[in-house]
Structure 1
């Protein structure tokens, strides 16, 4: 890419067709086409957007989810990468010549994973990476990723990496990504509709985490975000107390520049749509001339990240 040529990107703030994989894939295809019509070369979707985030884990126990049928339904609607459900996403990416980062609940054998799937503008998979450590409540449903799940890859839109949700609170995971020279990073969030949950951080705190990632990494951050609608609340909330804790809305999508500036006027928390911004390689170069964790600002002679994730980190 030329340092002065902009790369237009889009982030999704929308709810899936909850617990309906086929219908959510159709909605995703429509959003991919919409982003492409507006000139985007990259479009990023929220965490586990296919088929939606299992909000009930915050509201009741695993036994209730089992009795209510939600657990079985969620497993039945999770995405298998050897299934025909993948085809329309890859085909839409190729048809519209756009890079797609899709958040999925992936099923492999008997296990489920929180997965981010990157498809290039030809429909080719660039990576499928799994959340390394789901949260304590998420562990009721999802398994852990592995040492290979910190990829940063070259694409026609620059070097792209991704993490999901609370992975952005882990300094070592972030540093492993920064060392791989991301141009743009996708910080996928499931939405922020919960209220009255002990020790739950505010949406503003999570936005600050995405913003900090941009400044620390000297890169652009795309932060797609889902939201909760009335249909989702009706499925998950069988008591008034649960309905009080899972509010409608919770969408807080944004795109951040390498200096931490927010690049988009946010949508209302209940509104669905796309946020778009033009990214400039020159802004990344300027940020890293000022501070570069993988270069002149590093003290690898004193502190060094070591691990099996890649040869870079060994």
Structure 2
């Protein structure tokens, strides 16, 4: 396992509500990353088929046409869209952390899949608790989706968006000795200048704090929304002030909270790139290891139930998402 390698956070606009076109753009960005010597590239939350901004803008009944299209353009774990991204990872030798809306029959999940340089799945997870109105479109996961896994690039974990505001969720990840963390975010154009908590400044602050608290490297990809993207969601003049173009804010942070790489303009598409050195984690944790020498287990402890909680249990059967060539069970007998 190398100590030093190059990572990249995507800052780009998806092809809104179009899975195939966004997959094509994904493959192009993976190829761009490979050309720059990147070993790990991370994509934003629900990159495919784009973050569903319509949830925040109109009435429930006004969202109906979007919901049907969103379902139709949400990839399955065993479908052609994931297969194409896995093939791109295999062909380029780049580890890919992909955010997407995962369709599992009648339910959608805010999923993250980390694909190794051989195209194999290293980690698949779903957002534990979708935020606010997101819960009208997406299902929840369980404690088995708070996982850090070994990879050729160290111990990798991932969370989506406001999971980074949940202290116990973060601690469950820190306690698994995470070295590289993917903090996936949407665009920050919703209620810009109106709701501070939804903006880039607040959310990048908690992302930087994650790096400092966890003593790990954090790669934070974000989406960009153009005027064309705004028009895809805004249907009335009353909605227009609540969705703003631009608002990309991708960042990379070191284990002491140091910003790494050169940020892009909020309207620009591309990659934020940085070289990282895992040996710096030891220096950071020498001062403060939250689940090690800096913990006080006599005073506070976290209970993390990491057992899968499927709706139906079939003895001897699989309870997890299906990947055609990945059927190795985890320690609980569920497919990874």
Answer yes or no: same fold by TM over 0.5.
Answer: yes
Q: Using the alignment, how far apart are the partners of 2:117 and 2:139 within structure 1?
A: 30
Instruction: Tell me whether 1:142 sits opposite 2:157 in the alignment.
Output: no
Counterpart in the other structure of 2:17: 19
Counterpart in the other structure of 1:280: 277
1:245 deviates by: 1.5
Instruction: Tell me whether 1:202 sits opposite 2:199 in the alignment.
Output: yes
Pick the aligned partner of 2:254 from 257, 267, 288.
257
Counterpart in the other structure of 1:229: 226
Pick the aligned partner of 1:164 from 160, 176, 193.
160
1:86 deviates by: 1.3
1:298 deviates by: 0.9
Pick the aligned partner of 1:89 from 69, 85, 90.
85
1:301 deviates by: 2.4
Counterpart in the other structure of 2:27: 29
Q: Using the alignment, how far apart are the partners of 1:307 and 1:262 within structure 2?
A: 30
Counterpart in the other structure of 1:74: 70
Counterpart in the other structure of 2:149: 153
**SS of equivalent residue, structure 1 residue 145:** coil
Instruction: Tell me whether 1:109 sits opposite 2:105 in the alignment.
Output: yes
Q: Deviations over 1:125-174 (max 9, x none)?
A: 11110000001200110010112100100111110000000000000000
Counterpart in the other structure of 2:43: 45
Tell me if structure 1 keeps the 8 A contact 2:251–2:259. Answer: yes
Q: Give TM-score, length-normalised by structure 2.
A: 0.89
Q: Deviations over 1:241-291 (max 9, x none)?
A: 222211111100000011111112211111000011011011111101111
1:83 deviates by: 1.2
Q: Using the alignment, how far apart are the partners of 1:163 and 1:35 within structure 2?
A: 22
**SS of equivalent residue, structure 1 residue 309:** coil
Counterpart in the other structure of 2:210: 213
1:107 deviates by: 0.6
Tell me if structure 1 keeps the 8 A contact 2:172–2:304. Answer: no
1:231 deviates by: 2.2
Question: Which of structure 1's runs of 4+ aligned residues deviate more than 6 A?
Answer: none
Aligned residue pairs total: 307
Q: Using the alignment, how far apart are the partners of 2:81 and 2:195 within structure 1?
A: 37
Q: Using the alignment, how far apart are the partners of 1:199 and 1:298 within structure 2?
A: 32
**SS of equivalent residue, structure 1 residue 159:** strand
1:199 deviates by: 6.2
- RMSD (Å) for aligned C-alpha atoms: 1.4
Q: Using the alignment, how far apart are the partners of 1:9 and 1:156 within structure 2?
A: 13
Pick the aligned partner of 2:237 from 237, 240, 251.
240
Which structure 1 segments of 5+ residues have no match?
none
Counterpart in the other structure of 2:331: none
Q: Which moved more, 1:126-135 or 1:191-200?
A: 191-200
Instruction: Tell me whether 1:294 sits opposite 2:294 in the alignment.
Output: no
Counterpart in the other structure of 2:327: none
Which structure 2 segments of 5+ residues have no match?
309-336
Q: Using the alignment, how far apart are the partners of 1:242 and 1:229 within structure 2?
A: 16
Tell me if structure 1 keeps the 8 A contact 2:19–2:73. Answer: yes
Q: Give TM-score, length-normalised by structure 1.
A: 0.95
Q: Which moved more, 1:189-198 or 1:114-123?
A: 189-198
Q: Using the alignment, how far apart are the partners of 2:89 and 2:198 within structure 1?
A: 35
